[in-house]
């Protein structure tokens, strides 16, 4: 669905979904969107993905996103920041790329 926006720059999955848990119970997603991306132009289910509470209720996942310009230190630094947990330890993250990348 996010690809339909045509503004997705980076897509990262983290949380128990990328651990060795036998039955992961949550999916966490971090996205970097193009600077010209506007949530207000979306409708339906895809719009729900860009509202944290709605994404949790409707899809059962935690979704976090920023525009490219908000990626202080650059896109890669922003992604690497998501790998650090509050306690300072690292978490597993997986970046999903398209075949066209």
What tokens were used for 89? 């330890």
30 closest CA partner among 74, 69, 83: 83
What tokens were used for 24? 């992961």
How distant is the alpha carbon of residue 50 from its chain centre? 10
The pTM for the full model equals: 0.84
Specify if 83 maps to a domain. Answer: yes
pLDDT of residue 47: 93
How many domains are contained in the chain?
1
Q: Write the pLDDT tens digit of every residue in 44-92.
A: 999 999 999 999 999 989 999 999 999 999 999 999 998 888 899 888 8
Q: What is the domain extent for residue 17?
A: 2-96
Specify if 101 maps to a domain. Answer: no
Specify if 8 maps to a domain. Answer: yes
Better-scored residue on pLDDT, 32 or 98: 32
Q: Write the pLDDT tens digit of every residue in 17-32.
A: 666 777 767 788 999 9
pLDDT of residue 101: 52
pLDDT of residue 83: 86
Better-scored residue on pLDDT, 99 or 47: 47
Distances (CA, A) of 4 to 1, 13, 73, 76: 5, 18, 27, 23
Specify if 14 maps to a domain. Answer: yes
pLDDT of residue 78: 94
């Amino acid at each position: 669905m996010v690809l339909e926006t045509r503004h997705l720059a980076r897509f990262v999955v983290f949380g128990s979904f990328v651990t060795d848990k036998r039955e992961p119970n949550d999916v966490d997603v971090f996205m970097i969107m193009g600077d010209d991306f506007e949530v207000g132009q979306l409708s339906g289910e895809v719009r729900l993905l860009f509202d944290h509470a709605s994404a949790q209720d409707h899809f059962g996942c935690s979704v976090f996103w920023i525009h490219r310009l908000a990626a202080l230190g650059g896109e890669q630094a922003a992604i690497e920041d998501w790998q650090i947990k509050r306690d300072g330890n690292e978490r597993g993250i997986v970046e999903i790329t398209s075949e066209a990348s």
